A = this chain, B = another copy of it.
């Protein structure tokens, strides 16, 4: 079938500029100013900052895509408009029309010589001022705080990370296979689960991971990923915990642990490279030392066994024994020994979930992997090869004191044409936190949810 003309082609140059405004000026976004030098354009945005020197206002305008200094002289804009601009508070919405000039000293490299200013709506006593505010206050004002340049940079990087995740899997033929949020039972017990009433008194739980469902998808589509919000009702107040966070979880049939690690390092290095390439201004705004991220663009990443990790930890003076799981301190010691993420594989089976496959060569360890980000950011990925033998998996469910009935469908995946398969999960707020060099991941999601925070 020949498709009709007239629609936007899939590969069309993205429209970023709006059409003529009132038949006179072009409305442009600040990020498009480099293509408008010498033209008369209109910006539509908000007043971010302002200084004046007698007969000139320097209005720093933001429009969500960037900042632009707008230079307004009393002579050009007229006495009335000039005086009105005098009284505009921070975050006043306004339209500014003028000529685009290149100026290397200006923020962003371009400025506007203003011809006219029109206030859209006022803003008086904007609560977030350039002075320091406490975090609790800022979180209360999260709907406004996201306008600040630092939050702006973090969330634009988060957006890039999310799109990079999807592009990576889409380009590689992984099918998006969204797992349900409402689940009838818990994967691993009901601790840390949010429970709700479904219909007619039934209980439902918010998902902690889409993995089990993604496994069904992998056996149907070969390669799938799910990517959605996941929930932990943990009574935990660390800098690395949110009760609601987004996790991307690929799962592939006929993948073993080695394949899984190769996929994980390709994936993370792809994202790091893309953020460095496309979000340099945001990283700069965050004063991120990007030289620390450069090595993480290249693969392979170092791989060490849990056994070797224990030796390294002991050599570094940590009080740890074989069989112990790692906490934040151990992760920090290990990850500080490498210039890029390190993959620690083959943890003791006892540390890991029931669905992890034991190493046939050594049943006391699981065919699992954690990836630890450098600079003390700790675990960003957890995954591994899944138990694919029916009897073994059934035995493990029973050994973990879990009921069989809710796992019958999951056991079916081993009853009917079981195959080796593997996957992993990556929390995107943690990854964003590492890339941004942010200490607390509460800043890495638009509206963080924590134990004590459900608002706004």
A290 touches B1 (CB 8 A): yes
**CB of A181 closer than 8 Å to a CB of B:** yes
Residues of chain A in range 151-201 having any CB-CB distance to chain B below 8 Å: 151-152, 155-156, 158-159, 162-164, 166, 170-173, 175-184, 194-199
Residue positions of A touching B, CB distance < 8 A? 1, 3-10, 14-16, 18, 27, 29, 31, 44-47, 63-65, 91-93, 120-123, 126, 141, 143-144, 146-147, 151-152, 155-156, 158-159, 162-164, 166, 170-173, 175-184, 194-199, 202, 204, 206, 213, 216-223, 228-229, 231, 233, 235, 243-244, 246, 253-254, 259, 266, 269-270, 272-274, 276-277, 290-291, 294-295, 297-299, 388, 409-410, 412-420, 445-447, 449, 451-452, 454-456
Determine if A416 and B274 form an interchain contact, defined as CB atoms under 8 angstroms apart. no
Q: Which residues of B contact A298 (CB under 8 A)?
A: 4-7
Measured between beta carbons, the chain B residues less than 8 angstroms from A92 are 417
Taking CB atoms, residues of chain B closer than 8 Å to A147 are 219-220
Report yes or no: B456 in contact with A409, Cβ–Cβ below 8 A: yes
Closest to A222 in B: B64
Scoring A93, A223, A416 by chain B CB atoms within 10 A of each residue's CB, the highest score goes to A416
Q: Contacts A143-B216, A182-B449 given; indicate if A454 touches B120 (C-beta within 8 A).
A: no
Residues of the B chain whose Cβ atoms lie less than 8 Å from the Cβ of A6: 297-299
Structural contact, B7 and A221, CB atoms closer than 8 A: no
CB–CB A126/B416 < 8 A: yes
A416 CB contact (under 8 Å) in B45, B123, B231, B445? B123
| Contact yes or no, B173 A14, CB < 8 A | yes
Q: List, sorted by A's number, 8 A–B pairs whose CB atoms are closer than 8 Å.
A: A6-B297, A6-B299, A7-B266, A7-B297, A162-B178, A184-B456, A199-B452, A409-B455
B-side contacts of A445, CB under 8 Å: 178
Q: Which residues of B contact A276 (CB under 8 A)?
A: 1, 3
Q: How far is the CB of A417 from chain B (nearest CB, A)?
A: 4
- Enumerate chain B residues within 8 angstroms of A213, measured Cβ to Cβ: 143, 446-447
Tell me the smallest distance from the CB of A28 to a CB of chain B, in Å. Answer: 11
How many Å from the CB of A190 to the closest CB on chain B? 13
Contact yes or no, A419 B172, CB < 8 A: no
CB of B416 within 8 A of CB of A223, answer no
Q: Which residues of B contact A204 (CB under 8 A)?
A: 194, 454
| Residues of B with C-beta under 8 A to A155 | 175, 177, 221
A276–B9 CA distance with the chains assembled, in angstroms: 12
Pair A416/B10 contact, Cβ less than 8 Å: no
Tell me whether B447 and A413 are in contact (CB under 8 A).
no
